[in-house]
Amino acid sequence: MKTCIACGMPMKDASEHAMNDPKKDYCIYCARPDGSMQSFDEKLESMADFIVRTQGFDRKAALRAAEDMMKKLPAWEGCF
């Protein structure tokens, strides 16, 4: 099982990979409609939105939490 390089989500089968392609190292939630991976800023915003929605953090705390998670992921090495 692969883990998404951009958000850390475990990808159990092809349907969870971008474009249903198990060769992609990122998941369906980190892909743009054309199949390319979201930019750092796009991913930061979408992760913060997810944290606000699912965990009830305020926006500032959600952005800090998203940054902390992203710092540990290979897709964002060198972005901080």
Note the pLDDT tens digit of each residue in 47-77.
999 999 999 999 999 999 999 999 999 999 9
Instruction: State the pTM of this model.
Output: 0.90
Domain interval for residue 67: 2-76
pLDDT score of 52: 98
Residue type present at position 68: D
SS3 content of the chain, % helix, strand, coil (to 5): 50, 10, 40
Count structural domains, the chain: 1
Residue 46 reports pLDDT greater than 90? yes
- Answer yes or no: is pLDDT of 80 > 90: no
Q: Which value, to the nearest 10 degrees, does the dihedral of the CA atoms of residues 45, 50, 55, 60 take?
A: 10
Q: How is residue 27 annotated by DSSP?
A: B
Cα 56 to Cα 28: distance, rounded to the nearest angstrom: 23
